[in-house]
Structures are given as structure tokens and as C-alpha cells.
Amino acid sequence: MKQPVWDLPIRLFHWLLAALIAFSWWSVKNHHTDWHIWSGFAILTLLFFRLLWGLVGSSTARFSSFVRGPRAVRDYLHDSTNWRVAGHTPLGALSVVALLGAIAVQVGLGLVSTDEDGLNEGPLAQLVSLNVSETARDLHELFFNVVLGLIVLHAAAILYFRLVLGQKLVKPMITGRAALEPGVEPMRTGKWWVAVICLLAAFAVTRWIVAGAPPF
């Protein structure tokens, strides 16, 4: 019997984020800086949504349900059968937090960057000096390697679960359902209208930032 593990907002968030990161990379490599910037705005919207949904969303989306301290991570590594909750494991949670954090840093750098020809700049570049803007651009380029490294680690972990532990993780992220062992607590689904409110709020904050974060 398959049970719900990931809700629709989380699945959409995940795959859209993956697609947008790929698109951001492709567009900037092919000199479509304007598309690259818009892709960044879309990622920023997703990040705000994820942050809010992590507070008020379904149980497996909530940070409080999966972000654990070092002791829980150690215990999980010692005996993984002790973890009886559907969703991210304490170790996986580290990966989620690292990925979200790194992507947030990357978007933040992009927001204050100016390109080397002065043709394009992020909406918040005006808030910092030209020197800071140029440094931010260089860091934005360098830091992508960190994001990429975490993505590779993420994919490698999924491969490890598939090949070594015999557990399929990709399919549940598509269908939202997985066979849970007896005694494992399934997902408590959040309310759809809460998701809509989170999305609207994320749009609003992003719009404000895109406008250069004007004072109220």
C-alpha cells in the first residue's frame, strides 16, 4: 500500500527548481543574460514559497519535522531503522538545508551583481558600490561550483539509495507516494489554500525585490 510522502507543492517546487537551475546555467552560457536574470527571479519566488511552506505546509515539508541536531544525525547514521517518520531523514535534511542555503546565497549574489560590460545588473545592485557589485559577480560565478557540488552529492546519494540500499527515491518525488514500512508515520497533508497564500506572498516579496526594494 503506497502512502502519501510528498505533497504537490513540494514536488512542483523540486522539479521547477531543478529545471530553472539548468535553465539559468544554459541561458548565461549562451549570452541570454536577460533570461538568466528572470530565471533567477523565478528561483527567488520558489525559495520564498519553500520557506513559508516549510513553516505552515504539509508535515514532510515542515522544517520542524526534519531539521535535527548533530545527535539525531549521529543516531541515524548509527541505526537508520530508528527513524520512523516519512520524508527527509536527519542526514537528508542536512543536504536539503545546504542546497536551499547555497541556492539562496547564489540568488543573493546575483541580485547585487553587475556584469562585466555594465549592460545588465541585478535589481539590488544599486544598493551597493560598483566595486562590491563586480566582486559579487565574480563570486556568483565561483559559487555556482558550490551549488553544483551539492547537486552532484544529492544525485549521488539518490544513486546510493537505489543501488546499495535498493530504495527508489525519484519515483516518490514524481508521484508523491511511497510504500512505507509498518509503523512509519505518513505525511499529514497541508491545506491547498495555505499553499496559495504562500505562493502569493512569495510573488509579492519577489516583486518588491525586483523593483529594487523601494522603501514603503
Partner 1 sequence: MRNALLAATAAVALLAGCRQSADDQAANTAAPKSSQVLPITDDPAMVSARAPASKEEALKLMHDRHEGMEDIGDAFKVLGREMKASSPNLATVRSSAATIAGLAPKVSAWFPTGTGPDIGKTRAKPEIWRKPEDFAAKTRAFQAAAQKFDATAKAGDVTAIKAGFGELGKTCKACHDPYRAEKH
- Identified binder of partner 1 from the candidate list 119, 163, 164, 211, rule CB under 8 A: 119
Cell of 103: 541556492
Say how many C-beta atoms besides its own lie within 10 A of residue 163's C-beta: 9
Q: Could you tell me the smallest distance in angstroms from the CB atom of residue 36 to partner 1?
A: 13
DSSP state of 179: E
130 binds partner 1 (CB under 8 A): yes
Question: From CA 185, how far away is CA 84, in angstroms rounded?
Answer: 6
In DSSP terms, 179 is beta-bridged to: 2
What is the rounded distance in angstroms from the CA atom of residue 166 to the CA atom of residue 160?
8
Asked whether position 211 contacts partner 1 by CB under 8 A, the answer is no
Closer of 9 and 122 to partner 1 (Cβ): 122
Residue 180 to residues 2, 7, 14, 66, Cα–Cα distance (Å): 7, 15, 21, 17
Which range, of 37-45, 48-56, 118-126, 185-193, touches partner 1 by CB under 8 A? 118-126
Among 15, 22, 77, 141, which residue sits at the site for partner 1 (rule: CB under 8 A)? 141
Query: Least separation, in Å, of the C-beta of 165 and partner 1?
Result: 40
Among 1, 31, 79, 182, binds partner 1 (CB under 8 A): 31
Q: Is 7 in the site for partner 1 (CB under 8 A)?
A: no
Residues 96-115 that bind partner 1 (CB under 8 A): 114
Per CB under 8 A, 214 contacts partner 1: no
CB of 119 to partner 1, least distance (A): 5
Q: Which amino acid is present at 118?
A: G
**Looking at 2, 19, 77, 116, which residue binds partner 1 (CB under 8 A)?**
116
- Give, in order, the Cα–Cα distances in Å from 167 to each of 69, 87, 160: 25, 13, 9
List the one residue out of 195, 194, 175, 3 whose CA is nearest residue 85: 3
Cα 51 versus chain centre, distance: 9
Instruction: Decide whether 27 or 65 has the Cβ nearer to partner 1.
Output: 27
Binding site for partner 1 (CB under 8 A): 31, 114, 116-119, 121, 126, 130, 134, 141
